[in-house]
Structure 1
Amino acid sequence: MSHFSYLDGALHVESLPLDALARQFGTPLYVYSQAALADNFSAYADACRLAGRGDDQALVCYSVKSNSNLAVLNLLGKLGSGFDIVSGGELLRVIAAGGDPRKVIFSGVGKGRDEMRLALTHDILCFNVESIPELHRLNEVAGELGRRARISLRVNPDVDANTHPYISTGLKDNKFGVAYDDALACYRTAATLPHIDVVGIDCHIGSQLLDDAPLLEALDKVIELIDRLADEGIVLRHLDIGGGIGITYNDEQPVAVGDYLARVFARVDAWRSQRHAGAPIKVMFEPGRSIVGNAGVLLTEVQYLKHGESKNFAIVDAAMNDLMRPAMYEAWHGVQAVQQRPGATAVYDVVGPVCESGDWLARGRALNLEPGDLLALMSAGAYGMTMASNYNTRGRAAEVMVDGDRVHLIRRREVPADLFALESLIA
């Protein structure tokens, strides 16, 4: 996290000290680095350009579910990003942020009719269809609107991503996609439907992948299927290999984005030169975590230090409702003191005030703490705020974006009245 570093013992984001942001905006507080976001997106865009891919030959579609703040989406849209969405609400977020619907792909296993109508009305780039029943529903909805829906099938290649079971999506036991052995028949069906335009193929096997070997294995299987489709006269215009590249939370060493994309383009070029010379196919990616994960931290203040017989607890004002990943996945987030203090450390579990034993943010961390100290939970930019809840009637955190020596409030803190504003008493 190169844009978060210590200066004179104080942790900074770009040019600003984090303790000053905590005083100005309170805690818990999500803090994002605009430079980190831009650099992480540029790793994808630059790799596409280095491979000679213009906008008509490659598209990076940021995965909105990883962090859907309007300011984040607006910044990425200005940098040229498309968007991967999984709900109608996410489409409306993209539009509100100034994103181009013609650069939106709609994934997800449970698209409703209203969501399909909304997406068709805005003429999105493509639906990633995940089942035959969904395909028939989309054909019906498009027919009712007098439109044709551009689709790709999300094909499940049964490739083990070697990641946490909850974020593995490419095995035959997962709920996502069309089984590889059924894909050819599904494409044949799609090609016969009057309101469907078959344009591509999609594959996404999971997230937080440190090695690109499973992704390249999935790519080989997708290429094989594209050839079989072409033999039947079903010619695809784009190949979407999904996202999934991981980030460093602790000591992981994920594959470099540029190296991975170079290998993808090399395989695609070799395949095209062997069988499809002169037949262009657009390559698309759906990154999320690798763009925003290490661009954000969650600031929290120590409320109490509780020393037990077998454990010490640092009770902070952030909780599982603010950052669900540790409770949900037993995920690791680095914990750094915002102000470094010399002296002896003790081992603490960092826990929140929510009334659940599962409300923990970090376990077994060596820290030198006093009540009132600020801690930064690192690598919290992805699946932090988007998974936050109001459990225990706790308002969700504020969010700020730092650009050099400037800070922008991009979401105000919720207050209790916000939480029950949509509720009514029975007369």
Structure 2
Amino acid sequence: MKNYPYNVQGLDLHDVCAQFGTPLYVYDAGVIKQQFKNFTKAFSGIDHEIMFAVKSCTNMSIMKYMLTLGAGIDTVSIPEIKMGLKLGFKPEKIVFTPNVVEFCEIRDAVGFGVAINIENLQNLEAFGRKFQNTYPVCIRLNPNMISEIETRTTDLSSLNFASVNKEHYDDVSKEQVEAWHNQSKFGISLTQFDKVLKLVEKYNIKINGVHVHSSHVILNEEVFKKGVKTVFKIAKLFNHLEYVDFGGGIMVKHHPDDKVVELDKIGKILKKEYDKFCVSIGKKIKIWFEPGRYLLSESGILLAKAVVLKTNGFINFVGTNTGFNHLLRPMMYDAYHQIINITNPDGELEKYNIVGNLCEIDNIGVHRTLNKVRQDDIIMIKNAGAYGFSMSSNYNTRPKPAEVLIINGKPRLIRKRENFDDLIRNQIELDF
């Protein structure tokens, strides 16, 4: 953020808290725009689409801002599709990437005219029975890198390969691969790839895309390169191919010691393989990405107030007016978020456990060194722009915080703070 950590676009964060209260999510539109530019520049040599991962932040104003930047959206539920259409995203700029959902959701997505990623054999077969070759679909694969692709046991001699390019089939089975999720629920395992091809042939399914995603793979440039080669070999099998979707997973630093890949290097690796691939199939295709964290993480902060200071044993606790009901990642993933006392930046450094106000173990940060914290000091939690509010809850019957977007130097309220009426709105009280 500009002039981080004390202000955003010249606005004192204390003034923002005074205006909107705490806890408070604050997003910097300038950072979002710059991250989008960085991403676009890194892949400028490739015909690509940036499909913002809505699940990372479902605020409609953030989504609308992404639309102004030229992004499409990656959605994981029918309501997310409806939000996108309501905001003006065209169906061709929306991709639906659900996980283990009822087929009725996929059927509904077809009705909206959006692109669809199917990640299991059951729904792929249901799709084939229902739509055959009347609607194109993308398959989401789990490349199972770590072990060599298993030897095929299915006899494919009976296939006529109307939708599958048999010429490239043997190339896939020989490829040595190394590191995407091996036991993840996401995607169709390559050990089941023969079954995919049989379903494609059985129902004459029009496969227009191949999708892969793993946050871990893009931590290592060499593994990424091997993964790209493997995915392109798989993609060659489909005669109606229009795009390859590499998902998200491009990391940003949360901890000072975090190692992340250089986006420009990833772009150069992909461009080299992309150019060779397009020549090999005799046409240009698009490359899709579904970034969430990269675009939003650094743009957002969660501001909370220090409300209770206490010592148990040898541990000094800073109790705040937030918790894992507002930012789940530290407790769910053991995720690190830098924490700063912005009210007393010159205070002596002390060790604290920063905790929330829930009746649970509710650690936001453990054994952290902060400038001396006093009651009512404002505590800033960094990298909260992605998977922050979108994963929040009303646990302990506590309302969700407000959200503010700072754009052109002005703070704009983009979500009201919840109140008691919001908490009970959908409950039905019975008479006894």
Whether these two folds match at TM > 0.5 is: yes
Residue pairs, 1:391-402, within 5 angstroms: 391-402=395-406
Alignment partner of 1:266 is 2:272: yes
Alignment partner of 1:360 is 2:346: no
> 1:23 Cα deviation (Å)?
0.5
| Correspondence for 2:419 among 415, 424, 427 | 415
**Residues 28, 299 of structure 1: 8 Å contact kept:** yes
Equivalent position SS for 1:149 = coil
| Correspondence for 1:148 among 120, 125, 134 | 134
> 1:45 Cα deviation (Å)?
1.9
- Give the letter for the 1:249 counterpart: H
Deviates more, 1:204-213 or 1:58-67: 204-213
| Correspondence for 1:344 among 341, 348, 370 | 348
User: Residue deviations 1:82-126, cap 9 Å, x none?
Assistant: 1111111211221233222211111122233442233112200x2
Equivalent position SS for 1:95 = helix
> 1:259 Cα deviation (Å)?
2.5
User: Residue deviations 1:190-222, cap 9 Å, x none?
Assistant: 24426x421011111236943333332221111
| Correspondence for 1:157 among 131, 138, 143 | 143
- Give the letter for the 2:182 counterpart: K
Deviates more, 1:234-243 or 1:62-71: 234-243
- Give the letter for the 1:136 counterpart: E
Task: Determine the structure 1 residue equivalent to 2:165.
Answer: none
Task: Determine the structure 2 residue equivalent to 1:218.
Answer: 227
Equivalent position SS for 1:336 = strand
> 1:140 Cα deviation (Å)?
4.7
C-alpha separation between the residues in 2 aligned to 1:216 and 1:46? 19
Deviates more, 1:131-140 or 1:25-34: 131-140
Alignment partner of 1:311 is 2:315: yes
C-alpha separation between the residues in 2 aligned to 1:279 and 1:406? 46
**Residues 208, 247 of structure 1: 8 Å contact kept:** no
C-alpha separation between the residues in 1 aligned to 2:313 and 2:136? 62
**Residues 191, 198 of structure 1: 8 Å contact kept:** no
C-alpha separation between the residues in 1 aligned to 2:334 and 2:322? 16
Task: Determine the structure 2 residue equivalent to 1:181.
Answer: 191
C-alpha separation between the residues in 1 aligned to 2:129 and 2:397? 42
Aligned residue-pair number: 397
Equivalent position SS for 2:184 = coil
Equivalent position SS for 2:31 = helix
> 1:343 Cα deviation (Å)?
3.5
Work out the percentage of aligned pairs sharing the same amino acid: 28
| Correspondence for 2:71 among 63, 81, 90 | 81
Residue pairs, 1:6-405, within 5 angstroms: 6=5, 11-49=6-44, 51=45, 53=46, 57-124=47-114, 126-140=115-129, 142=131, 148-159=134-145, 170-193=180-203, 196-206=205-215, 209-227=218-236, 229=237, 234-251=239-256, 252-273=258-279, 275-276=280-281, 278-357=282-361, 359-367=362-370, 368-405=372-409
> 1:286 Cα deviation (Å)?
1.1
Deviates more, 1:90-99 or 1:411-420: 90-99
Relative to structure 1, the CA distance from residue 13 to residue 187 in structure 2 (aligned partners, 3 Å threshold; closer, same or farther) is farther
Equivalent position SS for 1:5 = coil
> 1:59 Cα deviation (Å)?
1.0
C-alpha separation between the residues in 2 aligned to 1:213 and 1:97? 39
Can you give the 5+ residue segments of structure 2 that lack an aligned partner in the other structure?
Answer: 147-178
Equivalent position SS for 2:413 = strand
Task: Determine the structure 2 residue equivalent to 1:164.
Answer: none
C-alpha separation between the residues in 2 aligned to 1:214 and 1:356? 40
Relative to structure 1, the CA distance from residue 337 to residue 343 in structure 2 (aligned partners, 3 Å threshold; closer, same or farther) is closer
Equivalent position SS for 1:176 = coil
User: Residue deviations 1:12-61, cap 9 Å, x none?
Assistant: 01221111111111111000000111111112222333x1x4xxx31111
C-alpha separation between the residues in 2 aligned to 1:286 and 1:419? 33
Equivalent position SS for 2:183 = coil
C-alpha separation between the residues in 1 aligned to 2:83 and 2:264? 29
Relative to structure 1, the CA distance from residue 44 to residue 188 in structure 2 (aligned partners, 3 Å threshold; closer, same or farther) is farther
- Give the letter for the 1:5 counterpart: Y
C-alpha separation between the residues in 2 aligned to 1:132 and 1:22? 50
**Residues 138, 149 of structure 1: 8 Å contact kept:** no
**Residues 107, 128 of structure 1: 8 Å contact kept:** yes
Relative to structure 1, the CA distance from residue 426 to residue 149 in structure 2 (aligned partners, 3 Å threshold; closer, same or farther) is farther
Can you give the 5+ residue segments of structure 1 that lack an aligned partner in the other structure?
Answer: 161-168
Relative to structure 1, the CA distance from residue 208 to residue 304 in structure 2 (aligned partners, 3 Å threshold; closer, same or farther) is farther
**Residues 180, 217 of structure 2: 8 Å contact kept:** no
Deviates more, 1:257-266 or 1:386-395: 257-266
RMSD: 2.0
C-alpha separation between the residues in 2 aligned to 1:300 and 1:189? 53
User: Residue deviations 1:249-294, cap 9 Å, x none?
Assistant: 1112312223212211111113333x23x32121111111011011
